């Protein structure tokens, strides 16, 4: 795909949203989910190599904003940045996917157990809001948004757990899992499974929360192993 074609494909989806915020200065935090969703919806595909300039023009922001977005995606291993080469979307192989899922299983059982201890009513509301947004994206047939929000749920859960290294580690695994889900065409939302986790969290039932998280990860592994 040429840079011109890539720019045209992204612009089709991005420009209607940009009109809603015309006149506002958009930050990297505003643009990050849009670029990530374009990757998840495969409007930016692994075979394409894109430039800061093409993305900046498509999303109507400066190259410095795009540079920060790409740096964040590179930290999450969603894209690959190499000196003197254009950025490229990652394409994890089967072995890498297996390692990612094994690491998540080890980390997230601990995360959900800690979250049961630290969760407050505002935390629960935040998680429920994410689930509601994910469900809405699912119903509107916005797979990129639904997959991204599903991953965000897990990262917020890690933040609630209050363990910085665990949260940082998951921040490098969850977005990459989202990428694999999208690339393999598994677009079914998992908000119902996440709802069970929140219900256990709300009751402070660590056993039920661990069971729900384990079931959720089992389902994820089964889907990605097909």
Distance CA 130, CA 126 (A): 6
pLDDT tens, position by position, 20-62: 344 458 899 999 999 999 999 888 877 777 888 989 998 899 9
pLDDT tens, position by position, 189-204: 678 889 999 999 999 9
Q: How many domains does the chain have?
A: 2
Distance CA 70, CA 68 (A): 5
Domain endpoint, select from 54, 89, 124: 89
> Domain containing 173 — which CATH number?
1.20.120.530
Q: Which domain holds residue 170?
A: 94-224
pLDDT tens, position by position, 136-171: 998 998 888 999 999 999 999 999 999 999 999 999
Q: Check: CB of residue 177 under 8 Å from CB of residue 150.
A: no
Q: Check: CB of residue 90 under 8 Å from CB of residue 76.
A: no
pLDDT value at position 32? 95
User: Helix, strand, coil shares of the chain as percentages rounded to 5?
Assistant: 75, 5, 25
pLDDT tens, position by position, 67-105: 999 999 999 999 999 888 888 999 899 999 999 999 999
Say whether both 106 and 29 belong to one domain: no
Say whether both 80 and 122 belong to one domain: no
Q: Check: CB of residue 154 under 8 Å from CB of residue 108.
A: yes
Say whether both 108 and 217 belong to one domain: yes
Say whether both 73 and 106 belong to one domain: no
């Amino acid at each position: 795909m040429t840079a011109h074609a890539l720019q045209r494909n992204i612009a089709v989806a991005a420009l209607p949203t940009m009109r809603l915020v015309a006149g506002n200065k958009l930050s990297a935090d505003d643009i990050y989910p849009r670029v990530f969703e374009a990757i998840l919806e495969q409007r930016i595909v692994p075979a394409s190599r894109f430039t800061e300039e093409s993305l900046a023009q498509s999303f109507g922001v400066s190259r410095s904003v795009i540079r920060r977005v790409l740096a964040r995606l590179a930290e999450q291993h969603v894209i690959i940045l190499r000196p003197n080469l254009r950025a490229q979307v990652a394409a994890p192989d089967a072995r890498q996917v297996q390692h990612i899922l094994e690491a998540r299983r080890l980390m997230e059982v601990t995360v959900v157990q800690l979250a049961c201890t630290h969760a407050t009513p505002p935390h629960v509301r935040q998680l429920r809001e994410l689930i509601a947004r994910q469900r809405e994206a699912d119903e509107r047939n916005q797979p990129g948004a639904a997959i991204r929000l599903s991953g965000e749920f897990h990262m917020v859960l890690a933040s609630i757990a209050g363990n910085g290294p665990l949260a940082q580690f998951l921040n490098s695994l969850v977005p990459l899992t989202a990428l694999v889900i999208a690339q393999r065409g598994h677009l079914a939302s998992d908000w119902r499974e996440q709802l069970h986790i929140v219900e256990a969290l709300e009751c402070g039932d660590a056993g039920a929360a661990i069971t729900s998280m384990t079931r959720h990860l089992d389902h994820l592994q089964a889907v990605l192993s097909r």
